[in-house]
């Protein structure tokens, strides 16, 4: 597990990691087709080897690594055991771990999810967790509280690039779009953060959306998938992130992982992308 020892606030650790390694976040997504293309079994052992090679390729090059929890979970307890190992290995590589679990529920159930992913003594403790606010941002209060108490972070889904999202996330009300209301509520929770350091709570905004929410009041980080094979470009990242650019993590997974299983080939791709997506010092 990644936790237990005292740690600096997530925003400060993110700022340090980005300053040292740039803004590229790479996913570990061991879905069955990739496992097979790498010549690995579609089982927990294959997921373990896939993750090991991935971290050897880029764990020491990027500020954050994002394991997609679903592809571990589908292998049951053996898959979760591999995920625990991966989270520990990410920490040992010097990168931040973002568990892409998209958890979201209410009351005691949300509190249970929060303890599972954000409590210091949990074997699944990560540096940051993706969560869904579409039962209401307030339903995530246990996750906000647990993350704060343990100096960890959250990335709250705001405006995602999947085509099914538009009708809900772009719907308008008295305060603007639903996505904008999510960003604004997350921003309120970051209001105590000092200048230059992002708060612990970020949002997920896809790089391909034409109608992104404004991020000028977020005061926190952005996780931006959709770059590369999904069509998002460097210009899109700059357009959408705006004043949050310096604290934006550009997530690229497929483009890197399809260069495997050769570690050197993946490493070369990540080095090239890391040079492109480096915004340290940007306004």
Q: What is the pLDDT of residue 205?
A: 98
Q: How confident is the model at residue 281 (pLDDT cuts 50, 70, 90)?
A: low
Least confident segment among 63-72, 200-209, 221-230:
221-230
Question: In the predicted model, what is the mean pLDDT of residues 201-217?
Answer: 96
Kindly state whether residue 233 falls inside one of the protein's structural domains: no
Partners of 202 in the β-ladder = 155
d(CA 81, CA 133): 28
pLDDT in tens, 229-260: 888 999 999 999 999 999 999 999 999 999 99
Q: What is the pLDDT of residue 3?
A: 42
Q: DSSP per residue over the chain, as a string? A: ---SS----HHHHHHHHHHHH-SEEEEE---HHHHHHTT--SSHHHHHHHHHHHHHHHTTTSSEEEEBTHHHHTTHHHHHHHHHHHHHHHHHHTPEEEEEEEE---HHHHHHHHHHHHSTT-TT--SEEEE--TT-GGGGHHHHHHHHHTT-EEEEEEE--SGGGHHHHT-EETTEEHHHHHHHHHHHHTTTPPTTS--SEEEEE-TT-SSPPP-TT--S-EEE--BSTTSB-HHHHHHHHGGGGGGEEEEE-HHHHTTTT-HHHHHHHHHHHHHHS--TT--
Q: What is the pLDDT of residue 2?
A: 44
Q: What is the pLDDT of residue 280?
A: 75
Range of the domain at 27: 10-228+258-276
Is 102 noted as a catalytic residue in this protein?
A: yes
CATH number for position 67: 3.20.20.70
User: What b/e readout covers 26-43, taking b as 16+ CB neighbours within 10 angstroms?
Assistant: bbbbbbeebbeebebebe
Kindly state whether residue 51 falls inside one of the protein's structural domains: yes
Beta pairing class for 201-205 and 24-28: unpaired
Question: In the predicted model, what is the mean pLDDT of residues 58-84?
Answer: 98
Question: In the predicted model, what is the mean pLDDT of residues 43-65?
Answer: 98
Side-chain-facing half-sphere of 148: CA atoms under 13 Å: 12
- Number of domains present in the structure of the chain: 1
Q: What is the pLDDT of residue 191?
A: 87
Question: In the predicted model, what is the mean pLDDT of residues 88-115?
Answer: 97
pLDDT in tens, 2-13: 444 568 999 999
Q: Name the pTM for this structure.
A: 0.95
Look at residue 186 and tell me whether its pLDDT is greater than 50: yes
Kindly state whether residue 32 falls inside one of the protein's structural domains: yes
Q: What is the pLDDT of residue 260?
A: 97
pLDDT in tens, 123-170: 999 999 999 999 999 999 999 999 999 999 999 999 998 888 878 888
Kindly state whether residue 5 falls inside one of the protein's structural domains: no
Beta pairing class for 222-224 and 201-205: parallel
Q: What is the pLDDT of residue 237?
A: 97
Look at residue 69 and tell me whether its pLDDT is greater than 90: yes
Q: What is the pLDDT of residue 5?
A: 54
Look at residue 44 and tell me whether its pLDDT is greater than 90: yes
Q: What percentage of the chain exceeds 90 in pLDDT?
A: 87
Q: DSSP per residue over 4-61, as a string? A: SS----HHHHHHHHHHHH-SEEEEE---HHHHHHTT--SSHHHHHHHHHHHHHHHTTT
Look at residue 75 and tell me whether its pLDDT is greater than 80: yes
Kindly state whether residue 74 falls inside one of the protein's structural domains: yes
Q: What is the pLDDT of residue 173?
A: 77
Least confident segment among 5-19, 31-45, 55-69, 185-199:
185-199
Question: In the predicted model, what is the mean pLDDT of residues 265-269?
Answer: 98
The phi-psi region of residue 136 (left if phi > 0; otherwise alpha if psi is between -120 and 50; otherwise beta) is left
> Of the listed 7, 31, 102, 254, which one is catalytic?
102
Average pLDDT of the chain is 94
């Amino acid at each position: 597990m990644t936790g237990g020892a005292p740690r600096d606030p997530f925003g400060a650790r993110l700022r340090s990691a980005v300053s040292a390694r740039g803004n590229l976040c790479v996913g570990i997504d061991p879905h069955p087709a990739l496992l097979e293309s790498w010549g690995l079994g579609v089982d927990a052992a294959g997921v373990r080897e896939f993750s090991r090679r991935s971290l050897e390729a880029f764990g020491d090059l990027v500020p954050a690594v994002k394991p997609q929890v679903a592809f571990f979970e589908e292998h049951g307890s053996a898959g979760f055991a591999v995920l625990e190992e991966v989270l520990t290995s990410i920490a040992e590589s010097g990168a931040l771990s973002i568990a892409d679990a998209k958890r979201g529920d209410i009351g005691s159930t949300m509190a249970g999810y929060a303890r599972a992913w954000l409590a210091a003594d949990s074997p699944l403790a990560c540096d940051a967790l993706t969560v869904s606010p579409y039962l209401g941002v307030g339903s995530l209060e246990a996750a906000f509280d647990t993350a704060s108490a343990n100096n960890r972070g959250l990335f709250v889904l705001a405006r995602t690039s999947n085509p099914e999202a538009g009708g809900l996330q772009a719907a308008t009300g008295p305060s603007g779009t639903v996505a904008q209301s999510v960003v604004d509520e997350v921003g309120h929770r970051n209001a105590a953060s000092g200048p230059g350091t992002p708060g612990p709570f970020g949002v997920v905004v896809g790089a391909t959306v034409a109608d992104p929410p404004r991020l000028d009041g977020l005061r926190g980080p952005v996780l931006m998938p959709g770059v590369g094979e999904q069509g998002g470009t460097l210009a899109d990242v700059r357009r959408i992130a705006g004043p949050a650019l310096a604290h934006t993590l550009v997530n690229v997974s497929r483009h890197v992982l399809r260069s495997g299983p050769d570690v050197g080939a993946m490493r070369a791709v990540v080095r090239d992308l890391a040079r492109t997506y480096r915004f340290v010092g940007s306004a």
